A = this chain, B = another copy of it.
Amino acid sequence: MSENSILARLRRRAAPPRGSEVVLGIGDDCALFRPRRRDLDLVFTTDMLIEDVHFLRETHSAADIGWKTLARGLSDIAAMGAQPQFCLVSLALARDLDERWIDRFFGGLLRLARRYQTVLAGGDLARAAKVSCDIVVCGAVPKGTALLRSGARPGDHIYVSGVLGGSALGLETRSGRALKRHLRPEPRVRLGRFLREELGATAAMDLSDGLSIDLQRLCAASGASAEINAPLPVFPGATLDQALHGGEDYELLFTLP
């Protein structure tokens, strides 16, 4: 299957809906976005998912990989309290992968994209020895209201949005709900908006590397220190170690006054 025919098929599957601010999607040198409201800030994230580093092709289906590629980007958008607008994906395909694999990859990605009204607006295709997937997501948020890592103040309370360690447990046991957490993380897009609009969160970030590293980063950005004196919310069956250092939970870490 040639690059041209893959693109032609994707163009049909991912056509921007009528009235979309993405006025030109897949097929030209660039995608074209026409912001309708002037009182918005645009936020951008990029995130790479690489074979044999972040996933194995033997254990992760094409649809899982497509889903997770986008989920990691959406999780960053959620952490800003923003609403996803569109994404672009750069995909390096291993030479032995066929049309069916590519179809399923984009099937997984587009399923999650639809859930959060994210238009697949473009990208790049290449062939390489290993699969790698880089996602770019653009989100929008009312001017000056994005949730930053740097907004936490001494005296704020620290929260996480769910239970931690599930992804690491799933990677180890390869079964049950924990495995689903690992393969198909759910980006906390609605919660991110709720934190910004309703709860007045002072800072937020997503938990991709693990609470132990990410809380340090939030503290460093905010010029504050943290104390944990309540038991951690641990995924059923996960160890404290997995909850602290496992990473890839894609829950939100945030602070409230």
Contacts and interface: CB of A to CB of B under 8 A. Distances in A.
Contacts of A111: none
A47 interface: yes
Given A30-B76, A45-B88, A53-B127, 12 more contacts: A24-B146, A28-B80, A28-B221, A29-B76, A30-B45, A30-B82, A34-B42, A44-B88, A44-B136, A46-B88, A53-B126, A136-B136
Given A48-B126, A128-B132, A132-B132, A31 B53 contact: no
A112 B139 CA distance: 27
A45 B124 CA distance: 8
Contact of A46 (B34, B136, B146): B136
A47 B136 contact: no
Given A24-B148, A90-B134, A129-B130, A31 B50 contact: no
A149 interface: yes
A82 B29 CA distance: 11
A77 interface: yes
User: Could you say how many copies of this chain the assembly holds?
Assistant: 2
A10 interface: no
Given A53-B128, A128-B132, A34 B143 contact: yes
Contact of A121 (B44, B52, B129, B150): B44
A48 B124 contact: yes
B27 A43 contact: no
Given A128-B53, A128-B132, A136-B88, A42 B32 contact: yes
Nearest to A4: B217
